[in-house]
Amino acid sequence: MSKTFGEVIALDGVDLDVAPGHIHGLVGPNGAGKTTLLGLLLGLVVADGGTLEMLGASVGRAFSVPGGVAGFVEGPGLYPTLTARQNLAALASLRSEPTARAADVDALLDRVGLLEVAGDAVRGFSLGMRQRLGLAAALLGEPRLLVLDEPANGLDPAGKRQVHEVLAGLAEAGTTVVLSSHRMDDLTALCDEVTLLSTGRVVFSGPVAKLAAESGDLDHRLVTSDPVGARRVVDGTPSLSLVPGRRAQAPRDEQALVVRGPEAALDDLVGRLVGAGIAIRELGPVVPLLEAAFLALTGTDEEAAR
Ligand SMILES: Nc1ncnc2c1ncn2[C@@H]1O[C@H](COP(=O)(O)OP(=O)(O)OP(=O)(O)O)[C@@H](O)[C@H]1O
Ligand SMILES: [Mg+2]
């Protein structure tokens, strides 16, 4: 699919396959095109080119999507003066779905952890509470494809776990979920597959574990009992280099070296350090594997951590 807004190319020939019953994550820097792509799936955006097939139906360049698709982009639309319960009841009747019974609405509110505040006006809800209510609203029609734009945004750790559980349960029951996130750790916990977008192009699509393998040479932080000796050993290890001037961003920085090289060379280094009688106190990637892959593949690496 392709989509431009004036001069801006939001989607540049994006090709994507999402298997039924999978949770598929979209990641990418700000402005990468995630919301535009999710908007296509919800019928909020018409593409300039390409074709879209959803739930077995061909929908061309979109705008009218088949039934069974639900979700939201850029935060759910809610009635601020109505309570959480009234919002869900109103949405159910507007969609002329078999009007959700009060018990159904409350079960949904319970599922997303909002039953206690069901009678409160949405006006006073926090960002995280709105996100949860948006999810409940999307679940009203028991969708077969759920599309969520940064659903974990604003959620506290308990809320995040709850939403993760709801989504995992849905996928297990056969619902397909496409969501976006900026948090690599959320995606790892939740998604079967991820697609990495960068300026409207797909730079990676596949299982999360495969993404981690794409990161190539990684910077590792090395803390030893003898930094001077360790420096010498690193210099003598093939394929490894010391990264000068790069701060290791953690306590005990004075002691830490940052070394760059492939995994096999790091393994080699461990043997050499031990052989030289130098104790290794710490050896690990400076940024988590997935984040490193993200930075490398989206070209935002340029010593971003500095
Ligand atoms: N309605 C619009 N009018 C003009 N430009 C738009 C519009 N919607 C999106 N864009 C542009 O298209 C590009 C992709 O935007 P999009 O919102 O899809 O990015 P995103 O990946 O969701 O970013 P973020 O992580 O910040 O949410 C951006 O350059 C944006 O400025
Ligand atoms: Mg967005």
In three state form, how does the secondary structure of 187-237 look?
HHHHCCEEEEEECCEEEEEEEHHHHHHCCCCEEEEEEECCHHHHHHHHHCC
User: Could you give the 3-state DSSP secondary structure of residue 296?
Assistant: helix
Question: Tokens representing 169?
Answer: 């349960």
| Segment 141-151, tens digit of pLDDT | 889 999 999 98
Which residues, judged by CB distance below 6 Å to any ligand atom, belong to the binding site of ligand 1?
5, 8, 10, 28, 30-36
**Contact residues for 142 (Cβ-Cβ < 8 A; gap 6+):** none
Percent of the chain clearing pLDDT 70 (strictly above): 91
Highest-pLDDT range among 195-209, 246-260, 277-291: 195-209
- Counting from 1 in the atom list of ligand 1, the atom nearest the Cα of 33 is 18
> Ligand 1: which of 35, 40, 42, 298 to mutate, judged by most atoms within 8 Å of the beta carbon?
35
Q: How far is the CA of 222 from the centre of ligand 2 (A)?
A: 37
Please answer whether residues 283 and 289 qualify as being in contact, where contact means their C-beta atoms are separated by less than 8 angstroms.
Answer: no
Flag whether pLDDT at 83 surpasses 50: yes
| Best residue for ligand 1 mutational test, from 3, 8, 182 (most atoms within 8 Å of Cβ) | 8
Angle at 232 between CA 230 and CA 234, to 5 degrees: 70
Alpha-carbon distances, residue 70 vs 101, 142, 194 (angstroms):
19, 9, 20
pLDDT of residue 246: 55
Q: Say what the pLDDT of residue 305 is.
A: 42
pLDDT digits (tens, 9 = 90+) for 144-174: 999 999 988 888 888 888 889 999 999 999 9
Output the CA 14–ligand 1 centroid distance in Å: 15
| CA–CA distance, 167 with 25 (Å, rounded to integer) | 12
Ligand 2 centroid–CA 71 distance in Å is 14
pLDDT category, 287, cuts 50, 70, 90?
confident
Name the residue among 191, 188, 239, 247 with its Cα closest to residue 221: 247
- Cα(first)–Cα(last) distance of the chain, in Å? 36
* pLDDT value of position 169: 93
Q: How far is the CA of 155 from the centre of ligand 2 (A)?
A: 17
The domains of the chain, with CATH numbers, are 2-207 (3.40.50.300), 214-297 (3.30.70.250)
Query: Sorting pLDDT into bands at 50, 70 and 90, what band is 97?
Result: low
Mean pLDDT of the chain: 87
Confidence of residue 232 (pLDDT cuts 50, 70, 90): very high
pLDDT, mean of residues 239-255: 69
Contact 305, 249 (CB under 8 A): yes
CA distance 125 to 92: 20
The DSSP letter of residue 302 is T
Residue for token digits 């535009």?
Answer: 36
**Nearest ligand atom owner, CA of 149:** 2
Residue pair 126/114 in contact (Cβ under 8 Å)? The answer is no
As a whole number of angstroms, the distance between CA 175 and CA 64 comes to 20
- Of all protein residues, whose CA lies closest to atom 28 belonging to ligand 1? 31
DSSP, res 279:
P
| The pLDDT of residue 153 | 84
